[in-house]
Amino acid sequence: MLTVDFDRLGVRPGDRVLDMGCGAGRHAFEMFRRGGDVVAFDQDGDELARVLDLFGAMRDAGEVPDGAEADIKEGDALAMPFADEEFDRIVAAEVLEHIPDDRAAIAELVRVLRPGGTIAVTVPRWLPEKVCWELSDEYHLVEGGHVRIYTGHELVQKLTAAGLEYVGRGHAHGLHAPYWWLKCAVGVDNDTNPLVRAYHQVLVWDIMGRPGYSAVTRLAERLLNPVIGKSLVLYLRKPEAPGSDR
């Protein structure tokens, strides 16, 4: 279940790419499939170990082109262990809402992105997230949980103030917003609720592409994304240095 449109980000074979706050690795895996030189970065070493295992399984299964590389790196988003201007493309998906000092994290992303490089930043969209917060404190008041709700204008302002150029935006996961509203209404850990279980099954059918269901769910997602898509996706570019011939 991808949030970022990699064609829009411009990922090409051989690009040096960073998945910052990679979690379980879904975006890192897609960039690996596209032939990138991928670094999956996170502070959770156990999660990274599983990502590394899956990188190996993908290579063994022939799912990646010759020349593609992938590795993991554990560390702090506020002090990433990478050189200045090291990456051609960066994904920071559903990360900044967890970081109290988001401006410092953004500065690090800008630092490691090369001039002319592109970045996709995704966060929970204001309206779906606001509904979740209103329905349940348990949803966000947990260790490592969400510390803020962004408006699109606020996030664009923070990213452009740090030196990036705004390119455009999209929305994703329209089917998931009502699911989380339901979870927040009945209890975020209440997975036995019949409505929660039924809705979850629909999402599984969508993700797995079950015949007879996925065409309907994909259409519903496309219609819902502009209205209640759970994720806001911003695409930005780091300006070229004056006089650069890149």
pLDDT digits (tens, 9 = 90+) for 205-237: 887 777 777 788 888 999 999 999 999 999 999
Q: Are strands 113-124 and 231-237 parallel, antiparallel or unpaired?
A: antiparallel
Q: Let me know if residue 35 belongs to a domain.
A: yes
Q: What is the CATH number of the domain that holds 214?
A: 3.40.50.150
Phi, psi of 191 (to 5 degrees): -85, -5
For the whole model, what pTM was predicted?
0.94
pLDDT for 245 = 55
Q: Let me know if residue 131 belongs to a domain.
A: yes
Q: Let me know if residue 100 belongs to a domain.
A: yes
Q: Let me know if residue 55 belongs to a domain.
A: yes
pLDDT digits (tens, 9 = 90+) for 77-132: 999 999 999 999 999 999 999 999 999 999 999 999 999 999 999 999 999 999 99
Our count of domains for the chain comes to 1
Q: Let me know if residue 244 belongs to a domain.
A: no
Tell me the percentage of the chain whose pLDDT exceeds 70. 98
| Percent of the chain as helix, strand, coil, to the nearest 5 | 40, 20, 35
Residues of the domain holding 219: 6-237
Grade residue 14 by pLDDT with cuts at 50, 70 and 90. Answer: very high
Kindly state the average pLDDT of the residues 142-153. Answer: 94
Kindly state the average pLDDT of the residues 56-82. Answer: 97
pLDDT for 202 = 87
